[in-house]
Structure 1
Amino acid sequence: MKLEQISLPVNNTLLSEYWSGSEKLHTFFQYPLQDESYLERAKYLKNRNYQTKQLSEIIRSFMEPYGLTDKIKENLSYLADGSPVIVGGQQAGILTGPLYSVYKAITVILLAKEQTQKLGIKVLPLFWIAGEDHDIEEINHTYTILKAEPKKRVYSVRKNRKTMASTTDINKIELKNTIDDIFKDFGETEYTQNLYQFIIHSIDESNTFTDFFVRCMHSFFKDEGLLMIDAAYVPFRKFESNFFNQIIEENEKIAEVVVLKERILSDSGFGTPIVATIENANLFFVRDGERFLLERNENFYINKQANVKFSKEELQEIANKNPENLSNNVVTRPLMQEMTLPVLAFVGGPGELAYWATLKDAFEVLNLQMPIIVPRLNVTLVTRQVEQLLKDFELKVENVFDGNVNELKNKFLESVQDYQAKEQINQLHELVEVHYGKLLEHLHGQQIHLDNIVEKNKNYHQQQFDFLQSKIEQQIVMKHEKMIRQFNTISSEINPMNNYQERVFNPYQYVNIYGPSFISDLLDLPFEFTNTHYIVRM
C-alpha cells in the first residue's frame, strides 16, 4: 500500500472553516483543534468523577459474547482505572455499512495511540454503536460493482414498526440471500470462501442488526483493543438513569439554547443541521423496541402517535425505574456520551461536526464541557486494476473527481458515432415528410379527409427510423464495450454516483481482493490528522 495526500474542493463550508481555525467558529466549539487543547482537556477530565469501574464492567459484559482479546482486556483495565477515551460512532449497517464506519474506527484508534504518546497517559479507543437508531432503511443495504456500475443490494425484509436496530430481529435466510448476491458481485478470489464462511457464521450467531454489525467490526479491530458499546444495551441504559434525570430536569433550557445556537449558526452562513424546535424534548420513549419522539406541550411530554402523555415527574420515574424505555436523539446523545464517558476527543464526519456546532451551550446547561472534535480521515482506495486504467488514459485521481473521465468517455463516444448512417436516416425522415405532405395535398384535392390516419402512418415510419438509429448506436456501443467499461470502472470505483467511495462501498469488497490483513495494513499507514484527502494505492 502507498499513501498519498491530495487536496479536493471541500463542499462543506463548516468543515473547511473548522480546519482553518476560523474565528467565526470560536463560539461554537469548546476547544480549537491543536495540541494544547489535548493537554487542557486531559486536565479537565482528571478533575471530574466518572464511574469508570462500573462502566468498564458494562462494556466487558457487552463485548464478552463477541470474544475478549488480551488487548481488549488490557484496555478495559485501563478504563476501570480512569483512562480517557477517544470516541467515534456509527449506525449498525450491513457489512459495517459504508467504508467511513471503518475509517472512523481507524481514526479513533490512531488518535488514541498518538495522544497516548504525546500526553504520556494511556488513551483508549472506543466505538459508540448507535443501536438505538430506528431508521432501518438507512442501514439495510450496501453497494457493489456489477458490470462496471454501482449496484444496490438490499436486505428487503420490511417491518411496519420503527424498531431500533438493536431490537430488530434479522431474517437470517433473507440476509444470507442478500449476502449471496453481494458475494456473486464481488467475484471469486483466493480469500472469498473463508470470508464468505465468516459472514455466514456471523449471521448464524446474530439476532439483530447490531449483533451482526458488532461481529463484523470486532473481527477487524479486536487485536487493536477497540472497545465497543451499544447505546441501547440495557445495562448501559440503567447506568444512564441519573443522567437521563439531569436531561429531563433541564429539558426546556437545553431546547432553548440549542434553538438559539442553531439560529446563530445559520446567521453565520452554516445552515440549520438539526432544525431544532423549542417544543422538542430531544428524547424518545421506547415501547416494545419502537421509538417515539417526545415533545413538550404545556407541562407534559407527549407523542400522539404512541398515545402517551407524561408529566415531568412521570418521565423522571421512568428514568429511575426503567431507563431502557428512554432513548437519546441527535441533541442529547453527545450530552449522554459526555456524562458517561471520560471523552478526550470525539471523532465525527462532516454532518456530525455541523450538529455538534449547535450544542456547546447545551453542554454548559448541564455544567459540562464539549470535548475536542476531530474530523475523521477521508480516504479513497485505488485498486491495482483502476491504477492501471488511470495510467492507460494518463489520468490522475483528481481528474475523476472533477469530471474529466466522463468528459473523455463522452468525447470517445462522439468520435465513434457513424455520422454517415445518421445523415442517411435524417434524409429518410425528410423524404417521408415531403412525400406524406404531397399525399395529403392530393387526397384533399380529391375531397378525401384521412389526415389522422395519414399522420399516424407517417409517425409509424418515423418511429421505425428512430428505432433503426438507436439500434445502430447500440451496435457501436457494443463494438466499443471494452473501452466504455474501462471508463465506467474508473468512475464507479473512485467516484461512484458522483459521491465519495467511502460513502458507498463496504470494506469487504476490498478484503475479498486483498485479504484479511487489509484493515491492519491500513492501520500501519502513516496517516496524519490534516485537512487533506488520502489516496491509498493498493
Structure 2
Amino acid sequence: MPKKYTLPYSETGYFSSLICDYLQKSEKTKPFYHRYPSVENFKKQLTEKSKQFSDNQRQLLVRQLEQQYEGFQISEKTSTNIQALNDEKTFTVTTGHQLNLFTGPLYFLYKIISVLNLCKKLKTEYPEHTFVPVFWMASEDHDFEEIQYFNFEGKRMEWNRESGGAVGRMSLENMDAVFSELSNALGETEYAHHLTTLFREAYFEHKNLAEATRHLANQFFGEYGLVVLDGDDAILKKDFVSVVEKELNVQLSHQHVSETSEKLKENGYKEQVHPREINLFYLGEGVRERIIKREETYFIDNTELSFSQKEMEEELKNHPERFSPNALLRPVYQEMILPNLCYIGGGGELAYWLQLKSYFEAISLTFPIVHLRNSVLLVTEKQVEKLKKLDSSVEELFLPQQQLRTKQTKRISEIEIDFTPQREHLQQQFKDLYTLAEKTDASFIGAVAAQEKKQLNGLDNLEKRLMKAQKRKLADELERLTKLQDDLFPKENLQERVKNVSEFYLKYGEELVPMLLEELNPMENAFTIIELQP
C-alpha cells in the first residue's frame, strides 16, 4: 500500500493568495462565491438547481449525448449515467480540460478522479439522488500551441501540423512521427504495449481530436461511469442563444466581470481573465476569431468577414453553432445545458470562476459550487530514501531551488553560516554611540546611522561570500539534492503540470487509476503527497 500525507496549500508556494484565502473561507473572498464546497451545502445547491433545469432540457441533453457517443463502445455504467440524466433527481459534477495530446499534463487524471470521488461521496450522503461525473472537452479552444505536445521523461513529444479554428474539429494527420517517437521511448514491456495501443486507437481510428480525446477519457475512466461532453454542438447551443444575444447587444458580461475584477484588485487579488467587450468568438471551418463591434457593424477579427446588426441576428438564428464562448462565457454555457452542482478545477480556473458570480446573478442563472481539484505529488520509495540520506524531506523540495540549496548548505556545513550574533553585537555598539550622539551634536546622529548601515551591509556581504564558498565546497551533495528536486519538480514546476500519465502507467499499469481513486479525498483541502511502493 502506498503511503500518503498532506501539506497545506498555503505552504507549497504554488497557489495564489486568492485560492488559499478561498479555501480558508476568508471574509474577503465571500462576495465572490455562492456556496462553499461543503457536503451540507450540496443539498441546498441541488434544491436550487432543480428549480432551474427542466425535463425538456434533460431530454435534449440525453439525446445529444447519445448522438455524440455514436460509434463508441461505452461501459454499462456510463450508459446508465447518460440515461439517468432524464431523471429530475439526477445532477452532475463537472470538470473540463483542453484537448492536450495524449491527455497532456498529469493533472488531467486528478481532475477527473476528483469528480468521480465527489460523486461517490455525494451518493453516500444523498442516496435518493444520482450524481453523474462529467468531463467537458474544451473542443472549441483554438490555442493549438498549448495542446500539440506532451512530455515523456523530460522529452517533448510534439504533433506537427498546421493549426487553425477549433482544435476539436482538427483532423488527425501527421501523427505517425509522434507515434514512432513514443513507441521507441516506451520500450517493449507489457505496459508499454498498452500505451502504444491506446495511442494508436485514439489517433489513428478516429476522425478528429475531439473523438480521440473522448476515446482516451473513456479508456481510462469509462468503467467508473464518466460522461464526456462536447460543447461544440449545434443543438445544445440553442439554449445558449439568449446569452449570445445579450452579449452582442448589451455587453452585459463585460460590465459585471469588470466590476468584480476591480473588487478583487481592491482586496489584493489579481484578475485571472480580462473581460472583452464581447466575450465571443466566431467559429467556422478553420476559423475561431473574436467578434468585435464598431458602431453598428460586427467584424470578425483577422478575417474580411463583417455583419450588420440584422445580418448578425440572422446568423445567430440560423447558425448558433458558429458562436463560441471564450474562457469567461464557457462556464455560463456549461451551466445552462447541464443540471450541474459543482465545477472542479485547478487554481487558475477557480480564479476566473470567482470573477463570474455577479454576472450569473444578472442573468438569473444559479452559480455552481466551485471546488479545487486534488493536487498530487507522486514520489517513489527510492526517492524518499535518497532524501533521508541527504537529511532532507519531500516537503523541503517545494522551496525555490536557491532557497533549498541555501537551507541545505546551512544544515550540513561544519561552519556556522549565520552572522546574527555579530549583527546583534554591532547593533548594541551603535546603540551606545546613538546615546553619545544625542548628548553632543544632533548632526552627529546622521553620521552614526550611515556608519551603522555600512557596517551591517559589510556583514551581509561577508555572510553571502561565506555561503558561496560553502556551496562550492559542498557542491556534490547539493547537486544530488537538486537533481532529486528536478526529477520531482521539473523546471521548478509542480510535477502534475509537466509530466504525462505515460511515465507512471509504464511502471504501475492498470493499478495506477484505482490507487489514485482510493487514496485521494475530494474534500481534503490540502496538497497530497503519495509515496509509491515498488
Deviation larger for 350-359 or 196-205 = 196-205
Cα shift at 1:522: 1.1
1:142 aligns with 2:147: no
Alignment match, 1:364: 361
Alignment match, 1:14: 18
Alignment match, 1:154: 158
**1:407 maps to which of 405, 408, 413:** 405
Cα shift at 1:49: 2.9
The code of the aligned residue for 1:322 comes to H
Tell me: CA distance 1:154–1:122, structure 2 relative to 1, closer, same or farther (3 Å): same
Equivalences for residues 103-118 of structure 1 within 5 A: 103-118=110-125
What CA distance in whole angstroms lies between the structure 2 residues aligned with 1:95 and 1:395?
Answer: 35
Cα shift at 1:187: 4.7
Alignment match, 2:490: 496
Cα shift at 1:404: 6.6
1:128 aligns with 2:121: no
Equivalences for residues 7-86 of structure 1 within 5 A: 7=8, 8-10=11-13, 11-50=15-54, 51-82=57-88, 83-86=90-93
What CA distance in whole angstroms lies between the structure 2 residues aligned with 1:314 and 1:241?
Answer: 18
**2:507 maps to which of 510, 513, 524:** 513
**2:313 maps to which of 312, 316, 328:** 316
Equivalences for residues 139-538 of structure 1 within 5 A: 139-145=147-153, 150-159=154-163, 162-172=164-174, 175-232=175-232, 236-249=233-246, 251-277=250-276, 280-403=277-400, 407=405, 487=481, 489-538=483-532
Tell me: CA distance 1:92–1:130, structure 2 relative to 1, closer, same or farther (3 Å): same
What CA distance in whole angstroms lies between the structure 2 residues aligned with 1:513 and 1:535?
Answer: 18
Alignment match, 1:2: 3
CA contact (8 A) 1:409 1:487 kept: no
CA contact (8 A) 1:241 1:319 kept: no
Cα shift at 1:19: 0.3
Cα shift at 1:33: 2.8
Tell me: CA distance 1:40–1:192, structure 2 relative to 1, closer, same or farther (3 Å): same
Deviations 1:3-31 (A, max 9, x none): 22123334401100100111111211111
Deviations 1:170-195 (A, max 9, x none): 224xx232233334444554421232
What CA distance in whole angstroms lies between the structure 2 residues aligned with 1:516 and 1:313?
Answer: 56
Please, what is the CA RMSD of the aligned residues? 2.7
Cα shift at 1:403: 4.6
Deviation larger for 62-71 or 88-97 = 62-71
Deviations 1:16-54 (A, max 9, x none): 010011111121111123233211111012212331122
CA contact (8 A) 1:99 1:505 kept: yes
The code of the aligned residue for 1:226 comes to L
CA contact (8 A) 2:92 2:131 kept: yes
- SS of the residue corresponding to residue 515 of structure 1 reads helix
Tell me: CA distance 1:195–1:489, structure 2 relative to 1, closer, same or farther (3 Å): farther
Q: TM-score, normalised by structure 1?
A: 0.80
Q: TM-score, normalised by structure 2?
A: 0.80
Deviations 1:405-450 (A, max 9, x none): 96289969x99xxxxxxxxxxxxxxxxxxxxxxxxxxxxxxxxxxx
CA contact (8 A) 1:98 1:505 kept: yes
What CA distance in whole angstroms lies between the structure 2 residues aligned with 1:484 and 1:203?
Answer: 43
Cα shift at 1:383: 2.5
Deviations 1:330-362 (A, max 9, x none): 121111111111111011111111111111121
What CA distance in whole angstroms lies between the structure 2 residues aligned with 1:206 and 1:35?
Answer: 40
Tell me: CA distance 1:256–1:516, structure 2 relative to 1, closer, same or farther (3 Å): same
The code of the aligned residue for 2:3 comes to K
What CA distance in whole angstroms lies between the structure 2 residues aligned with 1:225 and 1:312?
Answer: 45
Tell me: CA distance 1:185–1:490, structure 2 relative to 1, closer, same or farther (3 Å): farther
Alignment match, 1:469: none
What CA distance in whole angstroms lies between the structure 2 residues aligned with 1:275 and 1:484?
Answer: 42
Unaligned runs of 5+ in 1: 416-475
CA contact (8 A) 2:112 2:135 kept: yes
Cα shift at 1:202: 2.3
CA contact (8 A) 1:284 1:294 kept: yes
User: What is the number of residues matched between the two proteins?
Assistant: 461
CA contact (8 A) 1:244 1:319 kept: yes
Cα shift at 1:63: 2.3
% identical equivalent positions: 26
